Structure 1
Amino acid sequence: MALGPLMVDLLATELSETEKEILKHPLVGGVILFSRNFESVEQITRLCDEIHQLRQPHLLISVDHEGGRVQRFRKGFSRLPPVAAIGKEYHQHPKLTLERAEQSGWLMAAELRAIGVDFSFAPVLDLDYGVSQVIGDRSFHRDPLAVTDIARAYIQGMKRAWMSAVGKHFPGHGAVEVDSHLGLPVDSRHLEDMLQADMLPFTRLCQTELAGIMPAHIVYENNDKLPACFSPFWLQEMLRGKLQFQGAILSDDLSMEGAAIMGGPLERAEAALSAGCDMVLVCNNPGSVEQVIDGLKVSTDPLRNARLMRLHGRHATPRHELQQSAEWKQAVQTVMDYAPDPEMELNLT
């Protein structure tokens, strides 16, 4: 069975019978996990295994696990600081910064792969202009060249743990104040300015480093009236055309207020897929999944399926072996060195 274009969420720490049936539906291709789905390492491992056993090829399992404010699984996992902590000394110590980024990307990815998660929506490629309510320390740096270099190293670490990278939020979320979870941000900058700044990390990484890209729920009013996630201009003309991106395009959560301009759940899903998304996230709105599944008409697309299949994780190291390895201990120590947490006790023996 091909991977469908819908990524859905779950209500709790175990699959209900209704959810099992939803996950078997041909329109579904993946699951995104949240903190409400996590109770312990053992529980989340069982949940991932059960999801993977439902279909072949198995459904994609994803999570937002960047570090700092956005780390869905905590107890039993290494504490990941916000990635701004990695980039803070880039100009003074570039080599050290890139080493930290590579090990941090590997640590994040290796621990998730060990429990069965295919990929994290990472890294954030937005620039930190100091104005965004939602980006802030989720960004590596303000300088687009620094973000590009640090993100490339971070992605190399992810790849070393056999996890694909999904960069976000194209073409750039850092220059708007409004949180797209709560409203519809509007960016008034011109395309030429964005190409030299926010879009630069995407431009330089999309050819060889990124297997997926998530567009933003933002209107760039001097370029298109539609939010990027629903915009053929941004997804087809710019991302596929000018940037020649060949990977998967995955929408941000369609329940966010930044997507409300497009109508109800079905209309949002139809618009995002029509604009060029390969997969859309339908979550955090009970009942919307059934509504979309009942109404969405979309044909099988071998190219879309091939793009999504590239996001499957591979070659996971069992957790007990991972935590006994010198590589894991060194990566944890590296994180503690650049972002110490006196309240956290880590067993490195």
Structure 2
Amino acid sequence: MALGPVMVDLKGTELDAVEREMLCHPLVGGVLLFTRNYASPEQLEALLAEIHALRSPRLLTAVDHEGGRVQRFRSGFTRLPAAAGFGRLYRQDPREGVRMAERAGWLMAVELRAVGVDFSFAPVLDLDRSLSEVIGDRAFAGEPEAVVQLARAYLQGMRHAGMAATGKHFPGHGGVRGDSHLELPVDDRPFDTIELEDLVPFERLAGELAGVMPAHVIYSQVDERPAGFSPWWIRRVLRERLGFQGVVFSDDLSMAGAAYAGGYGERARMALDAGCDMVLVCNNPQGAAETLDALAGFGDPASQMRLVRLHGRHPVDRHALHRSEEWRRTVARILDFEQAPAGDLAL
């Protein structure tokens, strides 16, 4: 059974019969995990093993686990710093900023791989313009070059741990005040400005990213449609101009910013027609059911080939990881970094 184009979520820490049936639906290709799905590393490992055993190729399993405000699993995992901290260190000492970003990317990824998660939706490539509260300290920096250097190091750490990287939110969410979870923001800057600033990290890292997630933002001087529903942004800019060959994920179609496209079936169809490979439908079971019904008969062999590349590599034994010197040393460095002002770190 091929991987379908829909990523869904779960209600709790165990699968029920309805969820098992849904995950075997041919249009489902992945599961996005939330804090409600987590009780302990042992429980999560068992849940993921059950999910992965349902199908072949196994379903993709993902989570938003950036660090700072956005870290779904806490107890039993290392507390990860927000990306902006690496940007502050980078401004003082670029080499150390890059080194710490690489270590954080590795630690985030290896701890998730040790329980069976395939990938985290990271890193954030948005620029911090001191406008967007929903982005804020999730961004590495406000300068494109700093974001490129830090994000490259972070995704290299992820790759070392066996995890593919997904950059978000294309072509940049940092230029608007609105939160696309709650509304549909509009960025009225011209394309030339976006290209010279916000697009730079996506362009420079296009060949290193396995996935990209567009923003639920309208760039009004470029296209009347939000980026995640826009063939102009996805096919013409991301695919053709930037040469990106990986997976394009929609942001969650349950967000207010996605209501532009209509009901859930219309949202999914518009996103896939625009060039997305996989759509996320979370926190709304009825919306997920409507999406699966609306996409009956849908298939895209090219998308399926791209999706299987997101499976995690290099299986990691959790107990062996916690005994390893690399993990112990990296945890100590990250905790020191989290607790100490950047200028006081002994690196």
TM-score using structure 1 length = 0.96
Q: CA deviation at 1:286?
A: 2.3
Does structure 2 retain, via aligned residues, the 8 Å contact 1:252–1:280? yes
Q: CA deviation at 1:330?
A: 1.4
| Pairs within 5 Å for 1:53-202 | 53-202=53-202
Select between 107-116 and 298-307 the one with higher mean Cα deviation. Answer: 298-307
- Name the SS for the 1:88 alignment partner: helix
Q: CA deviation at 1:175?
A: 1.0
Question: What residue is the counterpart of 2:314 in the other structure?
Answer: 315
Does structure 2 retain, via aligned residues, the 8 Å contact 1:161–1:316? no
Q: CA deviation at 1:114?
A: 0.3
Q: Could you tell me how far apart the structure 2 residues matched to 1:94 and 1:282 are?
A: 39
Rate the CA distance shift 1:299–1:293 in 2: closer, same or farther, 3 A: closer
Q: Could you tell me how far apart the structure 2 residues matched to 1:295 and 1:228 are?
A: 22
Question: What residue is the counterpart of 2:343 in the other structure?
Answer: none
Aligned-partner residue type, residue 66 of structure 2: E
Aligned-partner residue type, residue 296 of structure 1: L
Does structure 2 retain, via aligned residues, the 8 Å contact 1:269–1:280? yes
More helix by share: 2
Select between 290-299 and 4-13 the one with higher mean Cα deviation. Answer: 290-299
Aligned-partner residue type, residue 193 of structure 1: T
Question: What residue is the counterpart of 1:49 in the other structure?
Answer: 49
| Pairs within 5 Å for 1:19-34 | 19-34=19-34
- Name the SS for the 1:234 alignment partner: helix
Question: What residue is the counterpart of 2:35 in the other structure?
Answer: 35
| Pairs within 5 Å for 1:195-234 | 195-207=195-207, 209-234=208-233
Q: CA deviation at 1:285?
A: 1.1
Q: How many positions carry a matched residue from both structures?
A: 341
Question: What residue is the counterpart of 1:235 in the other structure?
Answer: 234
Question: What residue is the counterpart of 1:346 in the other structure?
Answer: none
Q: Could you tell me how far apart the structure 1 residues matched to 2:316 and 2:62 are?
A: 18
Alpha-carbon deviations, 1:17-75, whole Å to 9, x = none?
A: 00101100110000000001111111111110000000011000000000011000001
Q: Could you tell me how far apart the structure 2 residues matched to 1:231 and 1:161 are?
A: 33
- Name the SS for the 1:339 alignment partner: helix
Q: CA deviation at 1:316?
A: 2.0
Q: CA deviation at 1:82?
A: 0.7
Does structure 2 retain, via aligned residues, the 8 Å contact 1:113–1:316? yes
- Name the SS for the 2:228 alignment partner: helix
| Pairs within 5 Å for 1:326-345 | 326-340=325-339
Does structure 2 retain, via aligned residues, the 8 Å contact 1:123–1:165? yes
TM-score using structure 2 length = 0.97
Aligned-partner residue type, residue 329 of structure 2: Q
Aligned-partner residue type, residue 330 of structure 1: R
Does structure 2 retain, via aligned residues, the 8 Å contact 1:3–1:305? yes
- Name the SS for the 1:140 alignment partner: coil
Q: CA deviation at 1:298?
A: 4.5
The Cα RMSD (Å) is 1.1
Rate the CA distance shift 1:90–1:298 in 2: closer, same or farther, 3 A: farther
Does structure 2 retain, via aligned residues, the 8 Å contact 1:9–1:31? yes
Question: What residue is the counterpart of 1:264 in the other structure?
Answer: 263
Q: CA deviation at 1:198?
A: 0.6
Does structure 2 retain, via aligned residues, the 8 Å contact 1:216–1:227? yes
Aligned-partner residue type, residue 315 of structure 2: A
Alpha-carbon deviations, 1:202-256, whole Å to 9, x = none?
A: 000011x100000000000000000000000000010111111100000000000
Rate the CA distance shift 1:298–1:149 in 2: closer, same or farther, 3 A: farther
Does structure 2 retain, via aligned residues, the 8 Å contact 1:86–1:338? no
Mind listing any 5+ residue stretches in structure 1 that lack a counterpart? 342-349
Mind listing any 5+ residue stretches in structure 2 that lack a counterpart? 341-347
Aligned-partner residue type, residue 281 of structure 2: V
- Name the SS for the 1:310 alignment partner: helix
Question: What residue is the counterpart of 2:344 in the other structure?
Answer: none
- Name the SS for the 1:217 alignment partner: coil
Q: Could you tell me how far apart the structure 1 residues matched to 2:271 and 2:85 are?
A: 34
- Name the SS for the 1:80 alignment partner: coil
Q: CA deviation at 1:259?
A: 0.5
Aligned-partner residue type, residue 47 of structure 1: L
- Name the SS for the 1:327 alignment partner: helix
